[in-house]
Amino acid sequence: MIEKAERLKRLPPYLFKEIDKKKEEALKKGIDIIDLGVGDPDLPTPPHIVEALKKAAEDPQNHRYPSYSGMNLFRDKVAEWYKKRFGVSLNPLKEVLTLIGSKEGIAHLPLAFINIGDLVMVPSPAYPVYKIGSIFAGAEIYTLPLLKENGFLPSFTSIPEAILKKAKLLFINYPNNPTSAVADRSFFEEAVQLGKRYNILICHDLAYSEMCFDDFLPPSILEIPGAKDVAIEFHSLSKTYNMTGWRIGFAVGNEEAIGGLGAIKSNVDSGVFGAVQIAGIAALEGDQGCVSQMRATYQKRRDLMVSGLRELGLLLTPPKATFYLWVEVPKGYTSQGFATLLLERAGIVVTPGNGFGEEGEGYFRIALTQREERLEEALERLRDIRNW
């Protein structure tokens, strides 16, 4: 028998793999599944982006190895987009790095800055990759609970001094997956001050900055004066432009952090396909009407589901951003138990909150990635089994 590495033994079962397994079992039974589990947009990539890819794919220059750090023009457009969207100035060559999706960059970053036994502060509940990437680098994990009474923000003042002195990295993510919570400038100011005082690299995942509602525009941590001294920010075209399958994102911010991540990447991958980067350029510099349409679509879905779930007696806060609903499970159920009930009795897939960490127990996550008709059907099925 071939022995697996200890780092794999430390990992929990990957959340979405387990969900897919249960979903496949239900499909084999002939159940009509309404999948509100994984956050994968059902909306198509805007046509002008697809056309840019088609044209670029025919150019032989894009058939060769791309630049490890990303096409200069793509990084230029990222810098222009950041300046326009956040008022943040970036040096495209030193403070911008192209990624094969932000997940890849987040997972690789700890390899550049963590030695075995170093400490990483990771929120819970959270996107699993923050913890997984840190474990792969040999880190010890300190969990920051995200609690309802704190607006699902970590309490920096509750972290012991000994932990702060030892920590090397801090992961944060607002707008937040899975809780859909948002943070204001004062939170990011506090994070930057923490990073400076204790020499901690702040790693901010901003994948959902453009998926926002009710005239709320999420800030970037880089808007805070001095943030570039201690912060790196990850972004993705996946949610903004419905490009999850295209695998393109970027990291921006602290020059040393960008350089360290770039050094890891140059040794483990060969960059993003040039035609995909050209499509990314078309996304960033093109008409942003598609982004407005995306927001309007998800806001309608949010309003429909929030209203329907509340009528059923379920407790949740209407999100200002992301396409997730973070819903409290009914009394008497665990997260996993209620998710299983919804699948078996209603054919609805949701994500149990404990899959995002122990602090997610008591909640389940709904992804608004189905047409309104299917969401209405989901609500109707829930009404049929509402005696849970």
Report how far residue 331's alpha carbon sits from residue 235's, in angstroms, rounded to the nearest whole number.
37
User: Could you tell me the residue range of the domain that residue 36 belongs to?
Assistant: 6-44+289-384
Report how far residue 282's alpha carbon sits from residue 99's, in angstroms, rounded to the nearest whole number.
17
Q: What is the DSSP letter of 321?
A: B
Residue in this structure with the two tokens 């403070």, named with its chain if needed: 95
Tell me: the pLDDT tens digits for 135-190?
999 999 999 999 999 999 999 999 999 999 999 999 999 999 999 999 999 999 99
Total number of domains in the chain? 2
Q: Are 256 and 299 found together in one domain?
A: no
160 in a structural domain: yes
Buried b (16+ CB within 10 A) or exposed e, 28-52: eeeeeebbbbbbebeeebbeebeeb
**pLDDT beyond 80 at 307:** yes
The reported pLDDT for the residue numbered 15 is 64
Distances (CA, A) of 217 to 52, 206, 214, 339: 28, 12, 9, 32
Q: Are 206 and 317 found together in one domain?
A: no
**pLDDT beyond 80 at 18:** no
Report how far residue 99's alpha carbon sits from residue 269's, in angstroms, rounded to the nearest whole number.
10
Other Cβ atoms less than 10 A from the Cβ of 225: the count is 9
User: Which stretch of 75-79, 100-104, 326-330, 341-345 has the lowest confidence by average pLDDT?
Assistant: 341-345
Q: Are 261 and 294 found together in one domain?
A: no
Report how far residue 227's alpha carbon sits from residue 188's, in angstroms, rounded to the nearest whole number.
9
Tell me: the pLDDT tens digits for 98-116?
999 999 999 999 999 999 9
Q: What is the DSSP letter of 222?
A: G
64 in a structural domain: yes
1 in a structural domain: no
351 in a structural domain: yes
Tell me: the pLDDT tens digits for 131-146?
999 999 999 999 999 9
Q: Are 208 and 300 found together in one domain?
A: no
Q: Are 254 and 321 found together in one domain?
A: no
Helix (H) or strand (E) holding 163: helix 161-166
Q: Are 133 and 252 found together in one domain?
A: yes
Q: Are 56 and 165 found together in one domain?
A: yes
Domain final residue pick, 223, 253, 285: 285
The reported pLDDT for the residue numbered 29 is 85
Q: Are 294 and 372 found together in one domain?
A: yes
115 in a structural domain: yes
Q: Are 256 and 161 found together in one domain?
A: yes
Q: Are 261 and 183 found together in one domain?
A: yes
pTM confidence score? 0.96
CATH code, domain with 133: 3.40.640.10
Q: Are 199 and 127 found together in one domain?
A: yes
Tell me: the pLDDT tens digits for 188-228?
999 999 999 999 999 999 999 999 999 999 999 999 999 99
